[in-house]
Structure 1
Amino acid sequence: MSKTTTGDLRVAVLGVGVMGADHVARLSSRISGAQVVVVNDYVTEKAEQIAAGIDGCRAVVDPLDAIADPDVDAVVLATPGPTHEKQLLACLEHDKSVLCEKPLTTDIETSLAVVKREAELGKRLIQVGFMRRFDHEYARLKALLDGGELGRPLVMHCAHRNPAVPTSFDSAMIVRDSLVHEVDVTRFLFDEEIVSIQIVKPAANPGAPHGLADPQIAIMRTASGKHVDVELFVTTGVAYEVRTEVVAEKGSAMIGLDVGLVRKTAPGIWGGQIAPGFRERFGQAYDTEFQRWVDAVRVGGTTQDYTDGPGAWDGYAAAAVCEAGVASLNSGLPVEVAMVDRASIDGA
């Protein structure tokens, strides 16, 4: 793999909207060993504007040309989900590692096709951007569970709250864009697949946009019978809150309490601060995720070399659970998750 004169990994960032622009800034200012050399966006002017602010960076109009560019060593996909399949397959064709923001693709058929194509190559080039695996609190909870101190985990309670969402957000997106993180967290913490899901719709928040089923309650069951429930409330008008509690046979553990500075003031007020948004809550996780990805790819590594780095299979599994979740949202009934057996795909 060729590098810059400094040995940095030369990265193309595709999609420089809110998330992609954050990643460009992250790679340019906080991540060592990487240089953004190409940016792409369907809004050409935005890509050109961002490229102009980075030494040695240029805008490329066609995303597939950006992937094929000989000056690009690796790719970050922050493009809309419907474009991911074609772009991921192009990364595989050109033997380039790619960090793909969720979703892997927008349906289980194309996600499975990507998994199979990568498996045919015999090496893992795809990492999916489930950044919570790199958050310090989730890492500590995972280590605690794996260490066995709490015994067998039995139940997990989660809350996922946003102050607001764009007006384009619909009820299914609460499953596909919000719940998807708890889906991956469940698989990460418990090391097993989710086999069924039910979405319950309580009375809608009067402050939510018309027609948005918010809040929602997701009830999931894992292969060994563990119970997971998730409160999803994306129009609280308050702050960004993500909590996870695992109840096990010998105790319990909770993360996401935002217990930093706690103050007491007159007249009898007790409290602290809640993260206003996802950047404040998970900024460290994104930075750690990207640094480990860059470090591994620079030395010719794959997703196998990351600490719990989620790969294409994890993206496929999340897509399968969310597809069942949307079906349950529409029917109100529990839905079994339909997935192929991982063992049936050599190398997956």
Structure 2
Amino acid sequence: MKRRHCATAAITLVCALTVLTAPVEAFAAPSPPSPTASRHASDSESLTGTKTGAKAKKPPKAPKPKKKSLEEVRKEIEALYHKAGAATDAYNLAAEKAKKQSDEIVRLARAIVAGRAKITELKSQAGAQAREQYRSGGLPPGAQFMLSDDPQLFLDGVSRIREGQQAARGVLGELNRTQQNLETYSKDASANWEKLEASRLKQAEAKKKIKEQIAAAKKLESRLEKDERARLLKLEREAAYKMQTAWLGSGVLKDINREASESGKRAVAFATSQIGKPYVWGAEGPDSYDCSGLTSQAWAAAGRPIPRTSQEQWRLLPRIAIKDMRPGDLIIYHDDASHVGMYIGDGAIVHAPRPGRDVTLAGAGSMRILGVVRPDK
């Protein structure tokens, strides 16, 4: 009886220990395990970190991303190239400013060299006058004639004194002016160096953005199959045709029948002769162009230099109404003036579209028009 009581107490103790060491989420006390089962369970837990018989939960599968439609891809690529175009304009503007600042620094450097040479010459003249005065006893040459009893010599002396004084004042005055100019040149050169560095930083930043946007657009296109790329090109043309048709349907062309000016004809002839050459950002010819590189070079060839970038062309050139447009005028596109084409008549433009495309003809209304400017107004 006593033995049976001890055995019962032992079993009760084992059950209590099992309950106390079980995980928190196990609410029900298990039946007393056999020593062998307990050993196997312990071994299994030490190897797998889970209880025997418990099924490991599989992580939920991530939902597959919804595949974009070809039209969505087209719009995304278009947006990327638009951003690249805006960055290209910023790059070109920074490059133009850097060139002007470099030219100004060179001009100032030459002025500083000339000024220093002039100061050396003036100091030499002042020194010669001082030495002459010392040799004559501290009196200018003319003053010695004033000591003479001869009236004519006296008058000559007065005249020479005046001339000497004027010459001395002239040398000193010119010396002071030259020194002041040198100080101004030096300050201007320092300011231009700072501006030049700022322009170079802007160039580098814009260049990075251009490369990033173009790389992203090319990556999107590279993921497409051959037939998808063909369909993408078709979608681009259809979108441009739709906008052009709507623009023409507004009756905008009925009042546009003006002839080009002589310089406008030369600009159009130059621009159309570049058809087929590739777009390259920052390029101004002769083998490749970006959009404003083409228009600025066309008008330079016509004898009318204009600003380099589309944004500066929009900002600085005279604006005209669309109804008054004539061949040779420049049409500025998008709200940020990041694209430009040259109107050639009959509702068409010649332009350099974007990376991966060549200089070509397009409908003047195939993109959103911001306004029109005339280089030879």
| TM-score with structure 2 setting the length | 0.18
Which structure: larger Rg? 2
| TM-score with structure 1 setting the length | 0.19
Q: More strand by proportion, 1 or 2?
A: 1
Higher relative CO (Cα under 8 Å, sequence separation at least 6) belongs to: 1
Q: More helix by proportion, 1 or 2?
A: 2
